[in-house]
Chain A
Amino acid sequence: MNFNYSVEGGNFSKAGTASSQFKKVLKQLNVDPITIKRIVVALYEAEVNIVAHAWEGKIDIEVDMEKVYINLADKGPGIADINQAMKPGFSTASPSVREMGFGAGMGLMNIKNNVDSLHISSEVGKGTELEMTINLSSIISK
């Protein structure tokens, strides 16, 4: 099954809309609550990163029996040093974004902590692509 959402850069009044819509889908699909929570945290952080740091983006999600695969591709400034961006506390968020309580530099860590695999690629001046997978069986088999 495929699900697609688009994200507007800079529009904080809509930040989280895709995450909230996909959460409803996961509930309908009867995914277990713990896995839903992990997916929602990772998806929300990645969605908000497009809103906060990029110009526009697309979210493509593929769900099968074993996993949820999420691809977020944006047009934006890109990330020059991905290792540095992953460090807790590192943020390039603007003062106005920080005032809203974003820009703690914790989002990418939240993503990493909640997915089974994460791959980030980016080209400065062009955009960023995040691929993450959450295994649907991981909780059950543990």
Chain B
Amino acid sequence: MKVIEIQDALNLKVLGGEEGLQKDILGGYTSDLLSDVMGHAEQGYIWITLQTHKNVMAVASLKELAAVVLIKNNVPDEDMLEQANEEGIPVLVTNLSAFDISGKLFNLLTK
């Protein structure tokens, strides 16, 4: 499934990194700890988190993640979005909690 299909199905708002919307999602990981994501997420994963700073994009780029989803309408720092645009990694936002959005994503991705 592509990022753009998930954005559409789950009503996510795209905040940056539009260039990467056609990327394929190969799995997902939900965590607010950067070392946890560094150690356990895989290339092509979509990352669900409440973190809103630039280091999120550094991790997403180094791990070649497909996209980042911010929960509960969290607002990213400006430099996070700048880097998302530079890297072409989409940053999306939902009004749902980590639990709810992870559940919906899980259902979509394992269908």
A and B together in one complex: yes
Number of residues on chain A facing chain B (CB within 8 A): 23
Whether B51 lies near A100 (C-beta < 8 A) is yes
Q: How far is the CA of A117 from the CA of B1 in the complex (A)?
A: 38
Chain A nearest CB, measured from B102 CB (Å): 17
Distance in Å: Cβ of B34 to nearest Cβ of chain A = 5
Q: Verify if B11 is at the interface (C-beta below 8 Å from A).
A: no
Count of interface residues, chain B, beta-carbon cutoff 8 Å: 20
Once bound together, how far apart are the Cα atoms of A19 and B32, in whole Å? Answer: 21
CB of B12, distance to nearest CB on chain A (Å): 21
Given contacts A100-B51, A100-B55, whether A113 and B39 have CB atoms under 8 Å apart is: yes
Contact residues of A between 26 and 70, Cβ < 8 Å to B: 37, 40-41, 44-45, 48
Closest Cβ neighbor of B54 among chain A residues = A13
- Residues on B with C-beta less than 8 A from A23 are 62
Could you tell me the distance between the alpha carbons of A109 and B35 in the complex, rounded to whole angstroms? 9
Query: Chain A's nearest CB lies how many Å from the CB of B61?
Result: 7
In contact, A106 and B39 (Cβ under 8 angstroms): yes
Q: How many angstroms between the C-alpha atoms of A95 and B95 in the bound complex?
A: 27
Q: Is B79 an interface residue (CB 8 A)?
A: yes
The CA-CA distance from A101 to B54 in the complex, in Å, is 12
CA distance A37 to B98 in the complex (A): 27
In this complex, what residue of B is CB-closest to A109? B39
A41 cross-chain contacts in B, Cβ below 8 A: 38-39, 62-63
Ranked 10 nearest A-B pairs via Cβ: A16-B58, A106-B35, A104-B33, A110-B39, A101-B34, A101-B51, A107-B35, A104-B35, A40-B62, A101-B32
Pairs across A and B, CB under 8 Å, 5 listed: A16-B58, A101-B32, A104-B33, A106-B35, A106-B38
